[in-house]
Structure 1
Amino acid sequence: MRIYDWIVVGGGITGAALAYELLKQGFSVLLLERHQSLQGATRFGYGGIAYWSGTTDLTRQLCAEGIALHRTLSAELDAETEFRELDLVLTIAADEDPEAIAQSYTHFAIPPSLVSVAEACELEPLLNPNAIAGALTVKHGHISTTATTNAYTKAFTKLGGSIQIDQVKELLKGENSRVTGVVGKQDTYHSANVAICAGALSRSLLKTAGIPTRLYFTHAELIETPPVEVCLQTLVMPADTKRFQLEAEASTTALDALWDQPGHEPSPPILDAGAIQLLDGRLRIGQMSRVLTDPDAPINATESEVIMRTKVGTVLPALNDLPGQWHHCLIGFSSDRLPLIGTLPGVDGVHLFSGFSNPLAIVPTLARRFASNAIGQGDEIIAQLSPDRFE
């Protein structure tokens, strides 16, 4: 029976990054992933790196470290992440006050610049000038989440890491209730430490072990097109985004009990109408977010697609009738927009690495800090992100 130093549960971008960084520090690591090919938020992510969006000393430092790492990550991993920097255009609706919207962004590390309708349309010729009162713009990082995850995985296996395709059903507990591994559908795996990087599904996995956590999730919906000739030059999103407000409203302490019961919708759905084009020509158009406490809750895909096409088509008419397929995934978040990283109160041997509201800007650097912390190099930032901050 092999006993690993670490088992990392979840092979998306968070798990792949963490497994790679732990292996680099000399640990033996097993990466467990339930799917043969990437699924979920990693598969359908927009890929945006909002490194300009830090609002506190902590988030500004993490974003600065994150973008610096992204700029060299392809070379380090010896595989392409498709990193680039492009213009982000944050559209201001025709009935909104551009000056007031711009003022709400002044506290960011790099405040976006306010531009006129004409200037916005010069940056993004596909914009409908009659649908906007102006826009904010700032340089924005972008990667392929799939390519980056594959690059991490390739580097991980090249260094000797192990990967197993299996669905984790529960945590394995030994003496004094210490977690000593995981039980999968196919086998049981043993380790000194388990890191849960299963995104939105981390909550339900921990719940099976009787471990409560303030981790929540939205059901995100988007339309993905095949490669098309239409050329979107920027990443387009609304300046008045609703997702973070939705997350805050749905994750209050008063609503916590609902999250352990299926069939609830703590807050109504929102739509942040935007689009990004990948380097291979595919477009991802969306994004609708729903707060449904059942991860398997049914969603009317036909109705959602009509809503998304109508809203996005108002701002970007050329995208309205493009062929595309509706997709859905879960996105984990915490109640304070900071990730949950570290040991869980009252339980030994299990660690959480999930709940990222701005994941791509900070996952690589936090994975590196987590691994350094694991070999005894104390890290004040990891300590600040501990799940016990809510106790």
Structure 2
Amino acid sequence: MGVRWGLRGKSALALLTACLVALVPALLIGWLAVDAVRQQFSQAYAENFTLLQMQRILAPISRELALAERFAQSSVTRDWLADEQDPAKRQRFFNEAESYRQGFAAHTYFAVVNASGDYYFSSDDEPTDRQPRYRLSADDPDDNWYSHLITSDQSYTLNVNIDRELKEAKVWINVVIRDDGRPLGIAGTGLDLSRFLDAFIRTRAHGITPMIVNRQGALLAYPDASRIAFNAQADNGDLARGQQLATFLGDEDERAELNEVIQRAVADPDDVYMLTAHLDGQPRLLSVGYVPQLDWLMVTVLDRQSAQLIATHWLWPLSLGAVVLMMLLLAGFIYTSERLILAPLRRLKQSA
């Protein structure tokens, strides 16, 4: 056996062994480097996904708010609210309001006259009869929202209404109209967010689970409809188990950390905060961003193992190239040792 291997075989075996020994730590270092890159990419991916969804929901709301403010602060609207029964002012208002209605995304507008409490509403489904739908009453608890708004210092509010029966989400934009501090009324429109929420929770991104929660962690949008807290405006103590994000986490420490991240996101809406926790027993990366206009938190749950963060198809050619390179190195070493060492030794042996 020793004669068969000879010096050439033993030197080649030594080089091969050395290459394999060096390959083990190289593979370990490479794996750690790829894992570190995956960790970095996962955080950047989750953060960018959350920011993208926040901008997707803010874009239509910002447009509707700007248009609603123009509608409310129009001189025609202000003149009519100051003198509701004037026929000329009334005619001009409804003519202009109809043009604004066509510009609103939901083709809907409403107006409340502070002096009388009359509530006017118009949409594609409701006839525009130019008569008030009803009259607000200070004795009706359902109308307290108006008295609170008109006496506040706010110039507008966004009221999020999630209908439990219809499973629809609407945002009502209420713009306060004043004349030298004297309230004239409010005007605005409604925006349907149901389509956005439907597209949001049915994202096709692999390894991504998006959700929307309120400050208390109640689920407002989630792929599993049975876990959505449609009564989230009520006391959270009435929510069923599984309708709050905290119930998904593994222990009390992770729940406390989630609450801290939510508070930090609310305090700084311009940033997105990360949290590593176990959801349903599996390690996940959570990205949390806050939308102050809606008082919602966008949460992105990322599964690092299944998410396609790094294209792995290039790893196989790279591995094959490393093997080919090692074989070429081994062949080059054998050839060089044959020409420079073994052949002279053989000639020396023959001459001796």
TM range (shorter): under 0.3
Q: Which has the higher contact order (CA 8 A, sep 6+)?
A: 1
Which structure has the greater CA radius of gyration? Answer: 2
TM-score by length of 1: 0.19
Pick the structure with more helix per residue.
2
Pick the structure with more strand per residue.
1
